Amino acid sequence: MEVFLRADLLCLTQTPKSPLVCSAPLTHGKRFQLWSLGFHQPERHLAKRLKHNSFYPFTEQQPNVFVLEYYLDTLWKGTLLFVACLVVVISVLMNQVQRQETWGIPAYGVVIGLWLMISSLPLRRLVLNHPHGTYHFSIQGRTVYQGPMHLVYLRLAFNSDARGRCFFQLVLCGYKLEPLVLLQLSEHYEQVEYLGRFIARKLNINYFDCLAVSYRHVVRHWPLRTNTDSTSIAQTRSQTYSKMSLNL
Amino acid sequence: MMLAMVSMLLFLLHLSVFANDVYNFCITFHYDRMSFRFTSILIFSQVISMCWAAMGSIYAEMSDDKFLRCFALTILMLNASMFFNRLSLEFLAIHYREEKH
């Protein structure tokens, strides 16, 4: 089963590349593509998506310029929480419990849901510009950060449950970026690593393994050495290779 | 930062409710003006505020900002003390709640 899936994944490299579509307007459906991660066999799900678009989740606007526009998944979670708690508040207001005002508890849910919804409504836009050597992250047109390419990376993250079973996920993160989970909770290390290296090669960004010190890192962009002070270079390296923070 | 700020606002709200309750309980003896109808919401809200203060303190410890760390820890301690004060007051005032026959 695993060999068959590996061969299936390998055929990603053998399909001919589709001709470039220059300056096509980004469709609205692509903004929600990060929401569905596939619960059963997430590697096959991601491999299928990579077959359709080899620069998933980005789209190539110009040669070596990749653009990603997305909404955070807290949008639907916040909306769901808001609607559910609003229903509970209205039903609780109808009947009281022991002369206690209990509508306050779902009212908290309403406020939190509203906050999550409003904070995720602005559209996020991440642009990887290789000819310039910078990446640009903006929220609804307002620039959050623009920096060098070595600060964006793809990380294989590692989780384990109480019994010792290991779960891996692929996260695209960077400095002042929101971590984006591309593959969630898979147990097959080799397939996840293959997909991660494939995506990082296509997008030409760094790829890091789950351990902090490992021979499996692929570093394509190094931090710039601006001055000869060795301590600042060491600080830059430790910041670059520090462990990522998993999103909540 | 946001979590610590929200926790501070909730703490100020709980502090005002607590001050009103203590004033009505100890000084003016107007027991019907105390906040007995809202006890469940108040306890829940104080627990939520303490949890948010703890989360904000964890995030503040991850960043190396000394002011933010002190601020978040202070807010956490204030929320914890407010929670215990509220519990003590509720136990002291348990016989003064509404009569049920």
In the structure, what pLDDT confidence band is assigned to residue B33 with cuts at 50, 70 and 90? Answer: confident
Q: Average pLDDT for residues B92-96, to the nearest whole number?
A: 86
Kindly report the backbone phi and psi dihedral angles of residue B66, in degrees, each rounded to the nearest multiple of 5, phi listed first.
-65, -40
Q: Inter-chain contact A100–B38, Cβ cutoff 8 Å?
A: yes
Q: Min CA distance, B36 vs chain A (Å)? A: 8
Does the pLDDT at position B14 exceed 90?
Answer: yes
**Residue B31 pLDDT class (50, 70, 90 cuts):** confident
Picking from A92, A88, A25, A93, the residue whose alpha carbon sits closest to that of residue A59 is A25
Q: B37 falls in which pLDDT band (50, 70, 90)?
A: confident
Is the CB of B37 less than 8 angstroms away from the CB of A102? no
Chain B residues closer than 8 Å to A99 by CB: 37, 98
Residue A18 clears pLDDT 50, i.e. is over it: no
B77 pLDDT above the threshold of 60: yes
Tell me what the pLDDT averaged over chain B comes to. 91
pLDDT, residue A39, reads 76
- pLDDT of B52 > 70? The answer is yes
What is the model's pLDDT at position A117?
Answer: 93
With cut-offs at 50, 70 and 90, classify the pLDDT of residue A13. Answer: low
Mean pLDDT of A190-196: 90
Q: Where is pLDDT greater, at A1 or A156?
A: A156
Question: Is the Cβ pair B37, A105 closer than 8 Å?
Answer: no
Buried b (16+ CB within 10 A) or exposed e, A128-160: bbbeeebbbbbeeeeeeeebebbbbbbbbbeee
Q: Report the relative pairing of strands A65-70 and A124-129 from DSSP bridges.
A: antiparallel
Highest average pLDDT, of A87-96, A134-143, A233-242, B46-55, comes from: B46-55
Confidence of residue A162 (pLDDT cuts 50, 70, 90): confident
Residue with tokens 């939190």: A112
- Determine whether the interchain pair B41/A245 forms a contact, defined as Cβ–Cβ distance below 8 Å: no
CB B3 within 8 A of CB B71: no
pLDDT at residue B89, rounded to an integer: 92
Each residue of A91-146: pLDDT tens digit?
Answer: 888 776 667 778 888 999 999 999 999 999 999 999 999 998 899 999 988 999 99
pLDDT at residue A42 in the model: 83
Beta carbon pairs, A and B, within 8 Å: 26
Nearest to B20 by CA among B9, B30, B11, B8: B30
**For B59-77, what is the mean pLDDT?**
92
Per-residue pLDDT at A31? 78
Q: In terms of pLDDT, which residue wins out, A201 or A39?
A: A201
- Distance, CA of A128 to CA of B99 (rounded, Å): 68
Q: Domain residue spans in chain A? A: 75-120
How is residue B15 written in tokens? 């502090």
How many whole angstroms separate alpha carbon A91 and alpha carbon A80?
A: 17
Chain A residues with beta carbon closer than 8 angstroms to that of B98? 99
pLDDT, average across residues A11-33: 54
Question: Of A167, A155, A158, A225, nearest to A195 (Cα)?
Answer: A155
* Global confidence as pTM: 0.74
Of A9-13, A74-78, A92-96, A184-188, give the lowest mean pLDDT range. Answer: A9-13
Task: Name the minimum distance, in Å, from the CA of A213 to any CA of chain B.
Answer: 21
Q: Do B40 and A99 lie within an 8 Å CB cutoff?
A: no
Q: What are phi and psi of A211, to 5 degrees?
A: -85, 155
Q: Average of pLDDT values for B53-78?
A: 92
Residue A174: pLDDT over 70: yes
